[in-house]
A and B are shown apart, each in its own frame.
Chain A
Amino acid sequence: MLNDLRLRLRSLFKKNAVEDEINDELRFHFDQHVEKLIASGMSPAESRRRARRAIGTDDQIREQYRDSSGIRFVETLLLDVRYGTRILLKNWKPASIAAFSLAVAMALGVAGLSVFNGIILRPPVAAEPKHLVSIYTTVPASDSHNISYPDYEYYRDNNHSFSGVAAFPEQVSRVPMTVGRLDEAGTVESASDNYFGAMGIRPFLGRFFVPGDDEKKVPEAVLTYSAWKRWGADPKIVGKPVVFMGHQRALTIVGVAPENFTGVVFGFSADVITTLAGNSQTFTQRDNRWLRLIGRLKAGVTRESARADVRVLSGQLAAAYPKEDKDRAVVVSPATVLSSEPDAQSTAELISAVLIALALMVLLIACANVANLLLGLATGRKQEMLIRSALGANRGRLIRQLLTESAILCAFGGTAGFLIASVALAQFSQFSAVLGLFGTFRFAVDFRTNGIVLLMTIALIFIASLATGLTPAIYASATNVAGALSGEAVIGGTRKSHVRNALVVIQVAICTLVMVGVGLCMRSLQNLRDVNLGFSARSLTSVMIDLQSNGVPEAQWPNSYRQLKQAALQLGGVQSCSLALELPLIDSNWSTDGIRVVGASDTAQWNQIPVNTVDGDYFTTLGIPLLRGRAFNSSDSKRAPEVVVINHNMAKTYWPGADPIGKQMHIQDGNRVVTVVGVVGDSKYNALDETVHPVIYYALSQHYLPGLLLTIRTRGNPRFWLQPLSQMVRNHGLQLTFLPFTFNEVMSFSLLIPILTLRVVSVLGALALMLAILGLYGAIFYSVNERKREIGIRIALGAQPSHLLKLFLRQTAIISGLGVSVGLFLGVAATILLRSQFYRISPVEMQVLIPVAVAMILISMGIAYMAARPWIKVEPMEAVRHT
Chain B
Amino acid sequence: MAEAVLTAQDYDRSFLAEVEKLSGQNVRLCYVCGKCSAGCPQALDMPLLPHQIMLMIQTGWRQPVLSSATPWMCASCGTCSTRCPKDIDINAIMDTLNEMAGKADIDIRPKIRVFRQEFLSSIAKHGRLYELGMALKLNLRKGEPLSDADMGFNLWRKGKIHLKSPSAMNKSRWAKIFKRENR
- Same complex for A and B? Answer no
Question: B residues bordering A, Cβ < 8 Å?
Answer: none
